[in-house]
Amino acid sequence: MRAIIPVAGVGTRLRPHTYSLPKVLLNVGGKPILGHILDTLIEQGITKATIITGYMRKLVEEYVRSHYSIEVDFVKQDVSLGLGHAIWVANETFDSEPLLIILGDTIFDLDLSPVKDSKISLIGVKEVEDPRRFGVVVTNKHGRIDRLVEKPQTPVSNLAIVGLYYIANPDILKEALVELMKKDIKTQGEYQLTDALQVMLEKGEEFSTFTIDGWYDCGKPETLLSTNRYLLDKYSTIKTFPDAVIVPPVFIAPNATIERSVIGPYTTVADGASVVDSVVRDSIISDGAMVTSSLLEMSIIGNNAYVRGNFNKLNVGNSSEINYG
Ligand code: UTP
């Protein structure tokens, strides 16, 4: 089975970080987002991947080539015209065997064993309360998908499409994508994969669902931080420093420096970063960043950034109240 991973998007919601790094290379829980995705896929026995690159594609290619030895084809999407367009661009790399499409900004708890032997295509779904910002599937009483709707404004289903698709028959997907392009079918200005899958359904292709419980988005600062918390709960490192207090779970890279500080809980301190005279919790301090004299919470500090806070000098009389909150 080949994995198709689209990572060409600009990542506007994660600016300013994505001004200098593609979203998939942002550090979460001690490793780039794409590193988590590839490690999970390799663990699940996937040996071939197509990575669709665009924005800052050289950095993505360099990272993958220097860290992974699985067979990877890089395909270029020149303009981000939507997920459907991205997958269409990759169609030359489709094999006759099944495909697994996995979004480049989502980390999944993945167990492919129930999926691998399926004769029909499957869409990963999760029940959500408010489906209006997702694509959703409408299923019949046999669990087969009748209809797919991108970002429904009236409630038709609360089974949200989470960004993981098993395509049993790549040739039919290819046909549907070609049709999407030819007929210029767009929703909200973009070529949507959901619309291509709807075309497949209309051609008689059968689809069912599989439930995904562990699904961690990295597309916005607050979701990147919540995914960081989830990963640290799973992979916390144990490290001590002579003049610092470490409150697990944390990830502290072997060559990070911590001095006279309290780190954690839920803090990633990446390669070459240093934290001095500070209290940092629920935050990501990226490669080579330096934080000094600071109190940080729910913060993302980019690679090689420098943050210097200050200590207050107070002369406060009896029975006074100072409250910075
Ligand atoms: P998003 O919808 O999150 O877009 O794409 P984005 O550009 O990454 O981020 P924002 O919305 O500007 O903040 C979900 C996944 O699909 C890929 C993205 O790279 C991301 O991994 N994608 C999206 C493409 O590869 N090409 C596209 O045209 C659209």
Distance from the alpha carbon of residue 18 to the mean position of ligand 1, in angstroms? 12
Distance from the alpha carbon of residue 260 to the mean position of ligand 1, in angstroms? 40
pLDDT digits (tens, 9 = 90+) for 78-101: 999 999 999 999 999 999 999 999
Mean pLDDT in the chain? 94
pTM, entire model: 0.94
pLDDT digits (tens, 9 = 90+) for 246-274: 999 999 999 999 999 999 999 999 999 99
Sign of CA dihedral 74, 75, 77, 81: negative
- In the numeric block, the tokens 């210029």 are attached to 184
pLDDT digits (tens, 9 = 90+) for 12-24: 999 999 999 999 9
Rounded average pLDDT over 148-160 = 87
Token duo for residue 177 = 């994508």
H or E segment and range at residue 85: helix 83-89
> Is the pLDDT reported for residue 6 higher than 90?
yes
Atom of ligand 1 nearest to the CA of 24: 21
> Is the pLDDT reported for residue 131 higher than 90?
no
Distance from the alpha carbon of residue 48 to the mean position of ligand 1, in angstroms? 22
Pocket test for ligand 1, best of 105, 106, 180, 217 (most atoms within 8 A of CB): 105
pLDDT of residue 188: 85
- Tell me the H-state helices in 93-158: 113-116
> Is the pLDDT reported for residue 41 higher than 90?
yes
Pocket test for ligand 1, best of 103, 133, 215 (most atoms within 8 A of CB): 103
Ligand 1 — pocket residues by CB below 6 A? 6-13, 23, 52, 77, 80-83, 85-86, 103-105, 219
pLDDT of residue 239: 85
Percent of the chain with pLDDT over 90: 85
Which domains, ranges and CATH numbers included, belong to the chain? 2-217 (3.90.550.10), 236-323 (2.160.10.10)
